[in-house]
Structure 1
Amino acid sequence: EEEEKKEEAKPIPNTLPSHPLKDYAGQFEHPAYGKIDIELKADSLHLKFNAFEFPLKHWHYDVFQGHILEFDQDILFTFYSNKDGIIEKVGAPLEASMPEDILFTKLPPDVLSDQAYINQLLGAYDLKGLTITIDWQGGKLMATVPGQPPYELEPYKEHWFKLKGLNGYSVEFILEKGQEKAAQVKFHQPNGIFAAQRKE
């Protein structure tokens, strides 16, 4: 009697990722399991986790499949976006005993913590007659608005920082090609976007 064959999972046909492949690349971290590195090489994603390294093939929507040769095992990695449309997590069933995927949170780009890059952002900016100062205080990037306490800026994504402790508030620095300093900073708030120009 032939052993009953297990039905294999199949992807939903004719689907596409919601983002360009480069948006899925980056470093993702879990406090207990460590870091996952995902790189875009040529036209495909490659994942590295501990001693394992393998390509990721698109499965369907924002799910990609990786094959671990050492165990002859396929694993599905699911990417999740936040309300800004930014890829912020990746999940995978790395523990058979756990019913839910283990989620790794995407880390901000390393450049946002690079001192040479940060120096390009520092200075005074004019917002309709109001001077906003971006400076480096005690190892942290801070934004100071007259009459208000300084706001700590947390690295978020390329050229963007979040205002720590304020949901929905972020700043975007505009760096023009060939310029040594950011020309403008935009404050993204629930009630609109406010642009401040660098003061000479």
Structure 2
Amino acid sequence: MSAPDASTDPFTLFRAWLAEAETSEPNDPNAMCLATTTADGFPSARMVLLKGLDTRGFVFFTNRESRKGGELLANPRAALLFHWKSLRRQVRVEGVVEQVTEAESDAYYATRPRLSRLGAWASQQSRPLAGRSELEAALSTAESRFPGEEIPRPPYWGGFRVLPAHFEFWQDMPFRLHDRRLFHAHPGGGWRTETLFP
């Protein structure tokens, strides 16, 4: 069986574009806007970092008790947007969301710097903060609790994977005659492609 190519497989095309962005973007080529919905149906968006990509989807990590975590647990659907200004490109992804395995969360958590791991214990993400001193005190408490390098992953901290149903690849072209290419997932596997007017 031949390997998928960028003309038929959106993951192959995405990896090629991401590789180009990694050589041209000054900061965080893996940054993506994550859009979720609130309980009353309003859109909610923020920037997060792509930390894993496999044949199933796009992985990021967070406090699952944060606002975005709660929204994803209540409505496991999301949209992602990658924008690479230096390349004049963007990629939109839409799909359902699942939690990654505990082993995947443990493995990524272990790669984080020590203070980032302690911060996962100290931060009650998305909840009101009286002042910076409250966060610093919580971090100090976490440092006292875990004085060495062995810092377990908090039970509420872990990853989500967006499983794409749709991709859109957008390339800036002269006179705003942009190139827009869509990939739609077939229920039985594979992708259907189409192009859109700019």
Confirm or deny a common fold (TM above 0.5).
Answer: no
| Bigger relative contact order, structure 1 or 2 (CA pairs below 8 A, ≥6 apart) | 2
| Higher share in strand | 1
Question: What is the TM-score of this pair, normalised by structure 2?
Answer: 0.25
Larger radius of gyration: 1
